[in-house]
Structure 1
C-alpha cells in the first residue's frame, strides 16, 4: 500500500514503536490552516491505527513550534470530509451557526480527538507556542521543551475568553491561568516546568534526541498497559468537570466573536493586534 503524502506535515518512524509528526510550514511559523489541521488529524489516525506504533511525537519545523491559527486565505470547509458532526457544509452556513460549526470541528473537535488518542503523545517544543500552538501542546500527554520555548495565549486582547481548547485551569492552575489570560504574557519553559505543564527542559540542540529517547523508553511498555494508564488519567480529569468546562468555554468564545461582530464588524477586537504588537516591541 502506498504511504499517504502530505503537504503541510511530515510523518516518519524514527525508532521502533515511535511515530513522529512534524508541522512543516516554517515559512508561516507553522501557523495552522485547514489543510494542516486535516492532514494532522489524518496523521494522528494513521499512527493510532498502526499496531507497530506505541508512542507519537508531535514536533514543528524551526524556528518555532507554532504561531497559532492561520486566519488568512480563503476558507471552504466543503473541501474536507467532516471528522465530527460539525464540519462540511454546516461550517459554511452564515452567521454564528456556520462559525460555531467550523470551530467545533477543526479546533475543539480535533483537540478532543487528539487528547483521547489511545497512545501516549509527546509534544517536542522549541521557540514559541502561541494560542493555537499552545492548544496543540496542551492536548499532548507529555511535553519536552527547549530552553528557549515560550507558551502564551494572548487572545483575550481580541475580546474572547481564550483559545478554543480551554484546559488552562488544569495545565497551569487557577491563579497562573488567570495571569496567562489577563496579561497575555508568555511563560518560559522553566516557568512552565515549575507549574507542571512541561515535563522536561533541555538545550535546544538536544531537543529532538531527548524527546526521542523518552519516547523509546515509553515504547518498551506494553501498548495495552499504556492505553489503560492514559484512559485512567483522562477519566480522572473528566470526573473533575473537564469536558463540561470545554463546552462552557466554547460557548463563551462564540459569545465573544458575536459581540465583536456587532460592535466592531469583525470577529475580533481590532485593538487586540495593536496591543500585542506594542507589548512585543516593549520586550
Structure 2
C-alpha cells in the first residue's frame, strides 16, 4: 500500500478526520523508523542498503508532504492553541514531534544524528525543512510563526537589567557596548575570523535584542573585532561566513542556525522586535537604525548581513563575497535581497559565478555607502551614528523596508528556502566540498 493510498482512504470513506490521518502517518513513520534502525549506520551501508534506506525515506516524505498539504493549518492551530501561544522554531518542531508523531522524525532519531558528521547522517533535517516549508507557506500559520520569531529571547530579557545598568556585556562570541546613543555589537570569534556557528547565532540574537530593548540605545553598530588568527593577527575582520569546519562535523543545525539566523536576528535588524505586552498603538515593533563597519572582508553570511543595514561603511581594502556556488548551499536570503542592491546581472555574477566586489571598485558603491581609508573607519562610524540618531530615520527606514521587503513576500521566500536549503545540506556535491574546505582552510 502506498503512502497516498493510506492517507487518501479517509477521503474515499468521507472521513475527513485529522486524528485518522495522524494515526495513519504515525504508523507509516514508525515502520520506516524500524526499517532504518535495522540497517547499519549510514556510512557502513552497502549500495543495496543505501538504496533501501533512500526508498524508505522517500516514502515517508511523500506521506508527510501529502498530510501537511491538507492539515498544516489544523496542526499549527493545535500546537499554538489557536494562536494564543508563541512558539519559536525549535519549540514548534519539538512540540510537533510530541503531539503529532510521524509528522517529523522522532527525538531519538534526531539525537542519533547529533553524533554523526554531516556526510554520515541520515539527512533527517530534510523532513524538518519539509515541515517548515508547509508551515511558512500557509498565510495564517506562517505569519504567526514569523511574528513569534520577532519576540525577544528569554535569555535577552534575563540579561537586560544588567546591560542597562552597566552598558556592556560579553558573551562567548559577541561583545555589546553602549557609548552615548549607540550600542556597538562586535563579533569577537578571533580564532576563526568570525565564522558563524550555532553559538554565534544565539549570541548575536541576544545582543540584537538587548540593543533594541534598551531605550538608551538609539542606533546599533555591527563590526568585527581584532583577530588572533595568524593570517590576520591584530587586524579587524568583519566575518568569514558559515563555519565550514563545524558544518563538516555535523554541528551546524538546520533549525538553530540556518533557519533561526534568517527568521531571528537578521529579520529583527530589518523589522525590530515585538514585545506583546508593551506594544504601542503606533507600532507593534521596536525598531532602530543599524550601521555596519566592514574591515578586511565580508564573506558568505557576513556579506548577507550587509544587505539589511541602513548604512555600510567599509575600508578601501575590504571586499564582499558570496561563495555560494563553491560551497553549494543557498546564501540565506541574499537571493531575495541582493538584486535590489546590485541588479539582476550583478547578483548572478556574485552568487552563481563567485565574483568578489571590492569596496573601492565602481560597483562597490552599490554595496557600500561610504569607503574610507581603514584608519578613518572609526571616525566615519561616529559620523554615521550622529546622522542616524534621528527619529525621522526610524520612521522612514520602516517605510523603506515595507516597500522593499513586504513581510508576506519574505515569508513566501523563507517557505521555499526551508526545503531547498535542507536538501542542499545533504546533496553529494555539498558534502564533498565541505569536507575539502574543512580539511585545508579557514572557514569561509
Name which of 313, 324, 330 aligns with 1:144.
Answer: 313
Three-state SS of the structure 2 residue aligned to 1:129 is strand
**Alignment partner of 1:2 out of 162, 170, 191:** 162
**Structure 1 unaligned residues grouped into runs of 5+:** 78-90, 92-98, 279-283
Could you say what secondary structure the match of 1:10 adopts?
Answer: strand
- What CA deviation, in whole Å up to 9, does each residue of 1:233-280 have, x standing for no partner? 01001249455344434443333224x1xx35xxx25247769x99xx
Structure 1 or 2: more helix by fraction? 2
Partner of 1:182: 352
Whether the 8 Å CA contact 2:181–2:218 is kept in 1: the answer is yes
Answer with 1 or 2: which has the greater Rg: 2
* Counterpart check, 1:165 vs 2:329: no
Distance 2:289 2:262 in 1: 20
Asked if 1 retains the 8 angstrom alpha-carbon contact of 2:197 and 2:257, the reply is no
2:441 paired with 1:270: no
Q: Deviations over 1:101-145 (max 9, x none)?
A: 652113443322222221000111011111011122222221001
Q: Which residue of 2 aligns with 1:106?
A: 261
Instruction: Quote the offset at 1:46 in angstroms.
Output: 0.9
In the alignment, is residue 40 of structure 1 matched against residue 167 of structure 2? no
Deviates more, 1:201-210 or 1:36-45: 36-45
Q: Which moves more between the two structures, 105-114 or 225-234?
A: 105-114
Name the counterpart of 1:65: 238
State how far apart, in whole Å, the 2-side matches of 1:70 and 1:76 are: 9
TM-score (norm 1): 0.77
Please tell me whether the aligned partners of residues 313 and 369 of structure 2 are also in contact (alpha carbons under 8 angstroms).
yes
RMSD: 3.0
Is the CA contact 1:157–1:273 (under 8 Å) kept in the aligned structure 2?
A: no
Q: Which residue of 2 aligns with 1:230?
A: 397
2:191 to 4, 8, 27: 27
Aligned length: 248
CA distance in structure 2 between the partners assigned to 1:192 and 1:139 by the alignment: 21
The gaps in structure 2 that reach 5 residues or longer are: 1-160, 164-168, 227-234, 273-286
Distance 1:192 1:32, change over 3 A: farther
Contact 1:193–1:199 (8 Å) recurs in 2: no
* Cα deviation digits, residues 30-66 of structure 1 (max 9, x gap): 1112222211111111111111111111000133211
Report the secondary structure of 1:122's partner residue: strand
In 2, Cα distance between equivalents of 1:52 and 1:245: 34
Alignment of 1:86-97 (within 5 A): none
**What is the CA-CA distance between 1:7 and the residue it aligns to?**
2.4
Structure 2 counterpart of 1:83: none
Task: Report the counterpart of residue 126 of structure 2 in structure 1.
Answer: none
Q: Which one of 415, 420, 424 corresponds to residue 252 of structure 1?
A: 420
Is contact 1:150–1:189 with CA below 8 Å preserved after alignment?
yes
